[in-house]
Amino acid sequence: MKMRRIDHIVLTVSNLEASRRFYHEVFDMPVIEDQTENNEHEHVVTLRCGHQLIRLQPTDRPKEQLQAAHPTPGSVDLCLVSGDDPEDVLHHLKSYYVDVIAEPQPNQGAEGDMTSLYLRDPDQNLIEICFYKNK
């Protein structure tokens, strides 16, 4: 069996609306409205991030729906790839009053050398924003 890519991830959040606003407004991720038509996604907000999806589920999502054994807000380290210049991203984050907890620094990722900066989302998940040169 050979896995080809990640289709989506699910983040457990303490406040669904606050997290939806954060990921939609700060990262400009479109909200996919038609994903809620399926009962399985009734209590979930779905956002598009490139070719993948990020789903946000509240901590009180009905337990009869398939989910992790111990869904917990603030337990994820997530890396997002930006196509923008790090200085532009820093300026954008500042305009939304988002605290950067680690300034741009060299790092390694799935595509090799990159530069990363770090922040936290409303549930204190660690969000890494990375920048690849010439990609």
Angstrom distance (rounded) from CA 58 to CA 56 = 7
Answer yes or no: is 13 within a domain.
yes
Last residue of a domain, one of 61, 92, 112: 61
Confidence at residue 111, expressed as pLDDT on a 0 to 100 scale: 94
Confidence at residue 117, expressed as pLDDT on a 0 to 100 scale: 98
Confidence at residue 36, expressed as pLDDT on a 0 to 100 scale: 53
Answer yes or no: is 38 within a domain.
yes
Identify any residues that bridge with 8 across adjacent strands, giving them in sequence order: 53
Residues 101 and 135 occupy one common structural domain: yes
Q: In what order do the strands lie in the sheet with 52-58?
A: 8-13, 52-58, 45-49
pTM over 0.85: yes
Domain interval for residue 114? 76-135
Q: How many folded domains does the chain comprise? A: 2
pLDDT averages per 10-residue partition of the chain, 135 residues: 94 96 97 67 87 94 81 95 96 97 96 97 98 82
